Structure 1
C-alpha cells in the first residue's frame, strides 16, 4: 500500500466500495425474496392443477375460480393448524362464507395415498357429525382439501387449553360432544357402504361448530372395509395413547379399534386429562392403565374432573364412565359397537332429562 500512488489507492477504495455495495444489495434482495416466498404459500404450486367444488346448499355461489384466486392470496398469517398431515389455512370468501383449506404436499407416496384415502372416504358423506368436504385441488406439486371452517376449533384445543380466557365445558356440553362424535363414528361404521374405519379417532380430530356440535375430521388414515370383512391389514398408524393394543400388535384395523379410541376420548371428557398427561407418563402409564388401577381399587370417581361437581352431573358421569370402560375392554369382541354406544348414551341423556324434571 505504501508504494501505491494516490490514484491507485483511490481506485482500490472505489473498487472495494462497489464490490461491498453489490454484495450487500444481493444479500438484501435474497432476504427480501426469501421472506416474500415464505409468505406466499402457493406461489409456484398452483399451476397446471384441477380445482373441483361439489354442489351444496348455501355454498353454491362460490365458483372454483373465486376459490382458487382467494387461495393464491393465503400467507402464513392464515395458518390455523399444522402437523404431520399438512397445514390448515383459514380462507375467508365473504362475511358469510369461510373455508378451511387443508394443504398436503406431495413429497412422498404415503402423502399422496393419504390424500386419495381422504377423497375416497369423504366423497359421498353427508352427516351432521362428520365434516363436509366441499371440494379439492390437485396438481403435481400440492393437494388441497376444502372444508367448512369449524368456528370452535377442536375438542383438544378447548378441553386442554391453558388460556385464561378458555371456554369452560360443563357436563351438558361434554355430553353433547360425546354423543355427537359417537353418532358420527357410528355412521361411518354402519351406514356407509363400504364401511369406513377412521383409524385416528382422537380429541384433536373432533371439531366443534358454532353450536358446539361435534364433527369427525381428518380421514387421512381412513380405511374402507366391506361388510363381509372382519379386518383390513395395514401398517400401524395413528396416535399414541389412543391406539387399541391388538391393532398395535397385529396391524389389523377393525371397527372395534375405533371403538377403543372413542373410549379414550370419552375418558378425556370425563376426567379433563389428556391420554398422555405428564402425570401418567412420569409413572410409565397412560389414561387407560391409570383408570384400570382406580377401578381395581374401587375409587374411579377420583378420576372425575373436579370442575364438574354437581350431584346430578356425577350420576350421569358414572354412567358415561361405564360406557367408556366397556369401550376399552381388552377383548375387542366384548367391546360394544358404535351403534350400541350411541344407544347407551342416548338412554343416559333421556334418564338425565327425566331426573331433572322430577327435581324441578
Structure 2
C-alpha cells in the first residue's frame, strides 16, 4: 500500500496493458476533478459554472464537489446571463422604466423646442404680415390700387408685387445682384417667376416727401406706354420704402457711356448720338403733348437716359415729374432738379413748364457735342458750368473748335452748326424764346434724314432760325414721333421749325 502511486484522494487507478496482457496501471483524477493524481491533493475540483458559462442555459448553476447542479432562481428573481446570477425582477423593471421615462422626457423636450421654434416663427411671420400691411397703407397702396384699376391701360401694364415675389427674384436682395448703387439706394437685377429680367429700384430714403415722389413715379409711368420711355412693370408697397420694378436696361446710362473715359472701350458714334438725342426728344415730346395728361419730367439729364441692348434711348426716373392738365401751361412748385441741368427761369420763379425740360435737354445736346459733364473742371482745375462755357466760347471762336475731337472727325461742319444752334436755342434764358420739344424732335429727326440721304442743308446763320419759330406755314403736315426711314424729303432746320408751328398738341 505504501508503494501505491495514486496518492491524490480524488484520483483513481486504471489498468494499463495491450489487449489482454497486463502491463501495470496508471492514475487519473476522478470525473469533476483535474490536476496531478500522483501527488497528495493533486486532483482539485473543477468549477463547471465558471469554466463553462451557460452550461445550465438560463438556469442557476451551483458548483458541487466533483460536479455541478442546475436549478431555477428563487421567486421574484430571474437569471441574468451577463451577471451569471439571479437578480430581483423589480430592479430590472425599474431600470427599464427609467430608460423609458428618460426617452419620453427627452422626446418631450425636443417636441417642446420644435413647438417653441414654430410658435416664434409664426409670431415673426405675423409681425411681418402686420408690418407689410402697415407699410402698404402708409405707401398709399389702396389709393394706388384704385388708380390702377380705374385706368384700363395702367391695369394691363402695372402690377402690385408682393415683397415675397421680389425677394425670390433677387435671392433676398443678394449683393451679387446689385446693378448699381448711389446716395439714394441701390438697383438690383431680378428674374421674375415668368422669367422676365427686371431692374428693382430699392431706395434708402425714409422721408415721406421722397416716398411720395416714388408713388408719383408709379402713377405717371402706369399711364405711359412709349418705346423710348423705360417700362415700369409694377411696384411693391409692402416694404418701408416702395420698390419699383422696371424693364432691365443692360447698357447703363448715356452719362456713363459719354463720361466713362478710359475705363470703357466703347464710344458712341456721331450717328448714334443723333439717334439717341432724337429718341429722347421723341419721348419728351410725347410726354408734353401726346400723352392723355401732360407730364413735365423736371429732371432731364444724361444719367436719366438709359440705353437698352440695342443702345435705344429710354427716358427714366419720373420721381420728380408732375402731371399737369392738358390745358395748363405751368405749375407752381418747389424747385427741384439736378444742378447743371436746372432751368434758370424755373429756379428763379418756381414756375415749372414744358420749356424747363427743353433747357435741360439742351444741356444733354451740349454733352453730346463737347463730351464734357454739365459741371466740369477746366485745364486750370476751376469748376465751370458747361452752358456758360459753351455760350462764352461761341462768341470768340468757331463752334467746330469747341466740340469734341471725335465729333469734329465724324460730323460735317453743317451738322455740328445745326446741333449747336439747336442747343443754343434750348438754352435761352427766357423760356418763351426756346423751341418746344416737338420742334426739337423734328429738327433732330430731319438731321438724321439729311445725313442718311447725304443731302445736308443747314441755315447760313443762327439769326435765321429765331424768326421762323413764330412763323406759320401754309401747308402743315403732321409728323409723328418716328418718321419713316424711307422718306425722300430733304428739309432744312428752318423748314422743320416752319412745319412744326402748325402741328397740334
Q: Distance in 1 between matches of 2:259 and 2:204?
A: 29
Structure 2's unaligned 5+ residue stretches are: 1-127, 149-153, 457-505
- 1:165 CA displacement: 3.5
Structure 1 residues 45-194: aligned runs within 5 Å: 47-48=132-133, 66-71=165-170, 73-93=172-192, 97-105=196-204, 107-139=206-238, 141-194=240-293
1:255 equivalent among 354, 357, 377: 354
Q: Which moved more, 1:183-192 or 1:79-88?
A: 79-88
Maintained 8 Å contact 1:105/1:111: no
* TM-score normalised per structure 2: 0.57
Mark the CA change 1:114 to 1:311 in structure 2 (over 3 Å): closer, same or farther.
closer
Cα deviation per residue 1:106-125 (whole Å; 9 max; x = unaligned)? Answer: 61221221112101211111
How many residue pairs align between the two structures? 312
Cα deviation per residue 1:179-210 (whole Å; 9 max; x = unaligned)? Answer: 01000111110112320001000011000001
Maintained 8 Å contact 1:280/1:287: no
Mark the CA change 1:282 to 1:310 in structure 2 (over 3 Å): closer, same or farther.
closer
2:341 equivalent among 224, 227, 242: 242
Maintained 8 Å contact 1:194/1:227: yes
Maintained 8 Å contact 1:280/1:286: no
Matching of residue 321 in structure 1 with residue 387 in structure 2: no
Q: Distance in 2 between matches of 1:65 and 1:160?
A: 38
2:435 equivalent among 314, 320, 336: 336
The structure having more radius of gyration, on CA atoms, is 2
Cα deviation per residue 1:236-285 (whole Å; 9 max; x = unaligned)? Answer: 11110000101111211111000000000011011111010112995453
Cα deviation per residue 1:66-96 (whole Å; 9 max; x = unaligned)? Answer: 4452245212332222335432111134896
Structure 1's unaligned 5+ residue stretches are: 1-43
2:366 equivalent among 267, 279, 282: 267
Supply the RMSD in Å over aligned alpha carbons: 2.9
Maintained 8 Å contact 2:163/2:236: no
Q: Distance in 2 between matches of 1:284 and 1:212?
A: 31
1:349: which partner in 2?
448
Maintained 8 Å contact 1:105/1:143: no
Q: Distance in 1 between matches of 2:381 and 2:347?
A: 22
* TM-score normalised per structure 1: 0.78
Q: Distance in 2 between matches of 1:90 and 1:140?
A: 18
Q: Distance in 2 between matches of 1:108 and 1:63?
A: 22
1:11: which partner in 2?
none
Maintained 8 Å contact 1:160/1:272: yes
